[in-house]
Amino acid sequence: MPGFDPEYPARAVVDLTAIRDNVVALRRAAPAAALMAVVKGDAYGHGLLPVARAALAGGATWLGAAQVGEALRLRQGGVTPADARILTWLYAPGAPLEEVLLADIDLGVAAPWGMDAAADAARSAGRPARVHLKVDTGLGRNGITLDDLPGVLRRAAELRGLVEVTGVMSHFACADEPGHPSIDAQAKAFEDTVSAVERAGFTPEVRHLANSAATLTRPDTAWDLVRTGIAMYGLTPVPQSSVPSTYGLRPAMTVEARLATVKRVPAGSGVSYGLHYTTSQDTVLGVIPLGYADGIPRHASGGALGPGGPVLVGGGVGDVSSPEAGPGSARVVRVAGRVCMDQVMVDLGPYATEQAGDIVTLFGQADGVEHAGAPSAEDWAQAAGTISYEIVTRVAARMPRVYTGTQEVGADAAGLSALTARGAWS
């Protein structure tokens, strides 16, 4: 693996083999369904094109990109129609839907106006629009209401030849809470929706409802296609009851940095803005040159502000709970005081042997502090009062991405290095 960029003292290492293997595991969870790899949000911060290639190597046959621009970038980046079907579904009036159709991309229609917009694009492109009816079965977000569905179906029938209804889709509100009554209610509403679409004379080739959580905990809702997002990146969608390895997953992203400053301070020293952390003894402080401008959540501040985000120091993963783990060995410490724009501080302890330039890991390929010693994105989510999705997705564009496992997934390592040296995919 290449060393750190001398201009930036941190990096996000993305294991493409983990992405591939996670897709394989998810396909086993829903063996009768095709799998859509959801790569919206720059593939949850992991890198749009590298992740897309890795997911396809694992057996994904669809790619999902919420924004039109993301979907177009997949095609522009070399993902051909022979490689994968692509679906995009979140746009406002005036979006370049003609470009979408010319790029052979399927289009989600989530409102009555979207049907006419798709038809207009089809006229301009000279080819029909393949649309997936996105129906709101209870999430209360983007989607055709059940009251509006009959009118949309009538309009779709009037626009035959310009519009082909190739899919029906919806999205769960509470699949990450197994047993929640809304899951069965939405499943029934979706079944009724599919029946209504078929009675209207349409035969969609794919019907899809299940997200990551449903794919793993409610395989009966898989239908023809599952849309996997967070689980594909090796993070559990149900952290209250499982860790990634429960489902044969492993996290793909590791965020690590080099210590910028290591200094000894006396007991009673205040640390960072507001002095919300005070050292209880003579100790050694370490300064990590990352902050909220890099995506480190300010809500993961420590001391009087909360538990603080966890950081692995001391060289590697070890048994940090063992009494034999001496000073300088692998151990987890917490953010001390307020997270700043460009730096966070950690209390390394009175006998620390770390030096400036040593590598520390904020989170990586682990089931978490309680399970594997090393911190996970979920640990950071708990420290910040959020979800692991946000932790990985918010890793800033300025942080270089380094890709491993490129040979295993058929990616060009040299090409990826050139593209990612300055965060081009981030």
- Binding site for substrate, residues? 141, 341
| 253-258 and 10-15 beta bridge pairing | antiparallel
Question: What CA–CA distances, in Å, run from 348 to 203, 259, 265, 343?
Answer: 62, 11, 11, 15
CB of 151 within 8 A of CB of 144? no
How far is the CA of 293 from the CAs of 144, 255, 261, 396, in angstroms?
37, 14, 19, 7
Q: What single letter denotes the amino acid at residue 380?
A: W
Binding site as annotated, residues? 141, 341
Whether 202 contacts 169, CB under 8 Å:
no
C-alpha span between 125 and 103 (Å, rounded) = 10
Residue tagged active-site, from 188, 263, 273, 351: 273
Strand-strand pairing, 310-313 and 306-307: unpaired
| AA letter at 79 | V
- State yes or no: is 40 an active-site residue: yes
Q: Are strands 85-88 and 106-109 parallel, antiparallel or unpaired?
A: parallel
Bridge partner residues of 277 (DSSP): 271
Q: What letters, b where the CB count within 10 A reaches 16 and e where it falls short, cover 32-51?
A: ebbbbbbbbbbbbbbbbbbb
Q: Using CA atoms, how far apart are residues 199 and 424, in angstroms rounded to an integer?
A: 47
Amino acid, single-letter form, for residue 275: L
Altogether, the residues listed in the chain come to a count of: 426
CA dist., res. 164 & res. 101, Å (int) = 12
At residue 298, φ and ψ (nearest 5 deg) are -65, -25
Please give the distance of CA 305 from its chain centroid, rounded to a whole number. 27
> Is 16 in contact with 402 (CB distance < 8 Å)?
no
Which residue among the candidates 40, 233, 277, 292 is catalytic per the annotation?
Answer: 40
Catalytic residue numbers, as ranges: 40, 273
